[in-house]
Structure 1
Amino acid sequence: MHAPQYQITPKLIDGLYTEAMVLADEARSYFDSDRARQISPADVAVAFSCESLKVTTRLMHVIAWLLNQKAIRAGEIHPSDVMHELDELGYAPATDDWMVQRMPDEARTLIMTSEDLYYRVQRMSSHIYTDQENQPEPHRLIEQLRRSF
């Protein structure tokens, strides 16, 4: 049985990009708010700061990957011109689930939502390259054409 094929269309990229930008704005707004500055006890406050950086890192990696995909699909960057490492989704540290459970609901929601988005894009990213590497050249060209429209 084969792994599911992902149809990464411009519409999907645009939707994910919008989702990432909205989430980034919500996270910035929340983590910069007075509510966020009133977190206690001290160990939770430190973990909260670390998690806010992790959320930001996840979202920036997702946004960068999506912008790269947009540029490739728009013909601004040729896929062969992009180093494989630069075209993959960047690493983002895992969340400390135990500490997150001690944080306010809004913080937990933002953290979990950023993880969900990051892991969805990560699965897409890994399948793009796995699928491309395993396909014969004519199939890769057909897939490139399909993604263009």
Structure 2
Amino acid sequence: MSEVGVNTISFAGRAATSSQFKAIYSEGMGLVEETAAYLDGPGRSAAKVLPRMASVLYAAESMRLTTRLMQMASWLLLQRAVNNGEMSRDQVLSEKSKVRLDGFNVDKSAPGWNDLPEAFRDLVERSLRLQNRIALLDREIYRPAEAAVVPDNENSVKAQLDLLRTAFTSN
């Protein structure tokens, strides 16, 4: 008899090393640039006219948003380096310990959330979705034993479908 899992295909491994990684990488880096442009331009103007509660929330959430995006960009750059043979897996594991992909959730019931500019809320939502996809990919690649445990705030079926879509579709 053969062992279970001997012929199992790692969808995460395929996604991380396939040309589809380029799509996630481009999406992540594009979101970083789009967010920076928004926060330095229209977001700065919009923040000046927000009600007090929304203004405080905007300041806090914009810091969380930029931190979240920088963490994701760091992970994407590390994964690109290992994919391109610029770093060994051990080097990436050492550096990756500094990257935090979990724990940046947003309280959409916070006072002032609905007063925030729609474009800003959209950037936050998109960053959270991308963060969940990258965190799932990270668990699948680097911590497969933990990959089966999905955070309460993440729909496991949707997460797996996103991972499959990343691995096998082209955009």
> Which residue number in structure 2 is paired with residue 32 of structure 1?
40
**What is the rounded CA distance, in whole Å, between the counterparts of 2:142 and 2:99 in structure 1?**
11
Between 19-28 and 124-133, the greater mean CA deviation after superposition: 124-133
C-alpha distance after superposition, 1:96-143 (max 9, x if no partner): 21233331211110110011111110010011123389xxxxxxxxxx
**What is the rounded CA distance, in whole Å, between the counterparts of 2:49 and 2:107 in structure 1?**
16
C-alpha distance after superposition, 1:4-31 (max 9, x if no partner): 8322224222211211121112211222
For structure 2, which runs of at least 5 residues remain unmatched after alignment?
147-171
> Which residue number in structure 2 is paired with residue 106 of structure 1?
119
Q: Secondary structure at the match of 2:36?
A: helix
Number of aligned pairs? 132
> Which residue number in structure 2 is paired with residue 72 of structure 1?
82
1:90 aligns with 2:91: no
Q: Report the TM-score when normalising by structure 2.
A: 0.66
> Which residue number in structure 2 is paired with residue 5 of structure 1?
11
After superposing on structure 2, the runs of 4+ consecutive aligned residues of structure 1 that deviate more than 4 Å are none
For structure 1, which runs of at least 5 residues remain unmatched after alignment?
134-149
Q: Secondary structure at the match of 2:143?
A: helix
> Which residue number in structure 1 is paired with residue 24 of structure 2?
16
Among candidates 129, 149, 155, match of residue 116 of structure 1: 129
Q: Tell me by how many angstroms 1:84 deviates.
A: 4.9
1:54 aligns with 2:64: yes
**What is the rounded CA distance, in whole Å, between the counterparts of 1:69 and 1:129 in structure 2?**
11
The answer to whether the 8 Å contact 2:78/2:92 transfers is no
Q: What letter corresponds to residue 97 of structure 1 in structure 2? A: K
Q: Report the TM-score when normalising by structure 1.
A: 0.75
Structure 1 pair 11–88 and aligned structure 2 pair: CA distance change class (3 A): farther
Q: Secondary structure at the match of 1:123?
A: helix
Determine what percentage of the aligned residue pairs are the same residue: 28
The answer to whether the 8 Å contact 1:88/1:125 transfers is no
Q: Give the root-mean-square deviation of aligned CA atoms.
A: 2.7
**What is the rounded CA distance, in whole Å, between the counterparts of 1:15 and 1:66 in structure 2?**
11
